[in-house]
């Protein structure tokens, strides 16, 4: 295996793709996805894990949680980081395409990153918020889904449901109206299909402390058992997130709250 190679821009783009699909505590040389990608790249798993930890030092979302990463980020690391996040709508699909092609696929279902398993064949969902009209949009959605679901530990942020096929990477700010934030992991929530639908129409939202709020419209259906079991049980409970996850952006949630309250007041 090659060692001591300089990192290229394309390699950093692929590494950054994986970076956003793992939490900080998963960035080590024994992590299955890191092992799989390192093998495809012809690099050591320790080298790739270190590069991801270098990226972590540049991540403001981790700094908010007191996580510093490693201090050895290169000038090219910094340049690629800035370019990627200043133009997510172009850079994220491009990184997803490069990632998929490295594993020998860029069509059909492709592969996805599941931290406990590594890189696995993708089982594409058909949820209403996860449709696409072209290859670029599909790649962007694939990137966003993996990044958001893995940021939430593969579980619904409300109920803790851990069946990946029943989870949606929900957009806080709608896909159609907020192009610059479409692929921002902090604009995403991992929700069950039921809670995604309720969030999408403003029947539920989250307060500034990330606690679940129910609309008056939803509460009007109590004590209906399904509403009580699926929603009222969790009212006031905070979103479930790993300690090293990137928190949803409070500014985005504030927009959602305002629109939800206006709709159902």
Are residues 117 and 138 both part of a single domain? no
Torsion angles phi and psi, residue 154, rounded to 5: 70, 20
Percent of the chain with pLDDT over 90: 84
Residue 113, in any domain of the structure: yes
CB-based contact 247:210 (threshold 8 Å):
yes
Q: Check pLDDT > 60 for residue 7.
A: yes
Residue 129, in any domain of the structure: no
Structure tokens at 213: 């709020």
Sign of CA dihedral 20, 84, 74, 45: positive
Are residues 265 and 140 both part of a single domain? yes
Q: How do residues 214-238 score in pLDDT, each as one tens digit?
A: 999 999 999 999 999 999 999 999 9
Are residues 84 and 112 both part of a single domain? yes
Structure tokens at 59: 């991540």
pLDDT of residue 133: 57
Residue 71, in any domain of the structure: yes
Residue 44, in any domain of the structure: yes
Domain final residue pick, 123, 158, 189: 123
Q: How do residues 103-113 score in pLDDT, each as one tens digit?
A: 987 666 789 99
Q: Could you give the C-alpha distances from 127 to 162, 166, 183, 197, 224, in angstroms and in order?
A: 17, 9, 17, 10, 26
Q: Could you give the C-alpha distances from 4 to 36, 43, 47, 220, in angstroms and in order?
A: 19, 9, 9, 64
Are residues 263 and 146 both part of a single domain? yes
pLDDT of residue 129: 45
CB-based contact 92:143 (threshold 8 Å):
yes
Are residues 8 and 30 both part of a single domain? yes
Are residues 224 and 138 both part of a single domain? yes
Domain final residue pick, 84, 100, 123: 123
Are residues 109 and 227 both part of a single domain? no
Q: What range defines the domain where residue 180 resides?
A: 134-265
Contacts of residue 231, Cβ cutoff 8 Å, sequence gap at least 6: 198, 204, 212, 214, 218
Our measurement of the distance from residue 112's CA atom to the centroid of its chain's CA atoms, rounded to an integer in Å, reads: 12
Residue 62, in any domain of the structure: yes
Structure tokens at 27: 């960035």
pTM of the model: 0.91
Q: Check pLDDT > 70 for residue 144.
A: yes
Residue 102, in any domain of the structure: yes
Are residues 117 and 140 both part of a single domain? no
- Please count the structural domains in the chain: 2
Are residues 263 and 141 both part of a single domain? yes
Q: How do residues 122-134 score in pLDDT, each as one tens digit?
A: 876 554 444 445 7
pLDDT of residue 126: 53
- Residues in a beta bridge with 211: 238
Q: How do residues 35-81 score in pLDDT, each as one tens digit?
A: 999 999 999 999 999 999 999 999 999 999 999 999 999 999 999 99
Domain final residue pick, 123, 155, 186: 123
Q: Check pLDDT > 90 for residue 136.
A: no
Are residues 59 and 144 both part of a single domain? no
Our measurement of the distance from residue 9's CA atom to the centroid of its chain's CA atoms, rounded to an integer in Å, reads: 23
Are residues 146 and 265 both part of a single domain? yes
Mean predicted confidence (pLDDT) in 166-178: 94
Residue 252, in any domain of the structure: yes
Are residues 112 and 155 both part of a single domain? no
| Mean pLDDT estimate for the chain | 92
**In 3-state terms, what secondary structure has residue 74?**
coil
Structure tokens at 204: 């539920």
Residue 128, in any domain of the structure: no
């Amino acid at each position: 295996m090659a060692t001591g190679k300089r990192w290229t821009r394309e390699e950093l783009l692929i590494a950054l793709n994986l970076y956003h699909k793992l939490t900080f505590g998963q960035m080590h040389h024994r992590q299955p996805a890191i092992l799989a990608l390192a093998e495809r790249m012809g690099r050591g798993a320790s080298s790739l894990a270190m590069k991801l930890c270098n990226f972590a030092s540049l991540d403001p979302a981790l700094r908010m949680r007191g996580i510093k990463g490693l201090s050895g980020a290169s000038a090219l690391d910094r340049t690629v980081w800035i370019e990627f996040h200043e133009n997510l709508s172009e850079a994220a699909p491009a990184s997803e395409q490069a990632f998929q092609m490295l594993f020998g696929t860029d069509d059909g279902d492709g592969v996805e990153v599941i931290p406990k398993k590594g890189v696995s064949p993708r089982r594409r969902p058909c949820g209403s918020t996860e449709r696409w009209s072209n290859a670029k949009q599909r790649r962007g959605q694939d990137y966003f889904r993996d990044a958001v679901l893995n940021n939430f530990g593969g579980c619904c942020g409300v109920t803790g449901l851990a069946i990946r096929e029943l989870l949606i990477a929900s957009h806080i700010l709608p896909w159609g109206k907020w192009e610059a934030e479409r692929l921002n992991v902090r604009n995403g929530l991992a929700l069950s299909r039921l809670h995604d639908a309720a969030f999408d129409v403003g029947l539920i939202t989250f307060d500034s402390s990330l606690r679940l709020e129910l609309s008056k419209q939803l509460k009007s259906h109590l004590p209906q058992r399904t509403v009580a079991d699926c929603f009222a049980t969790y009212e006031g409970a905070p979103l479930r997130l790993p300690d090293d996850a990137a928190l949803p952006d409070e500014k985005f949630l504030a927009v959602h709250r305002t629109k939800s309250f206006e709709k159902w007041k």
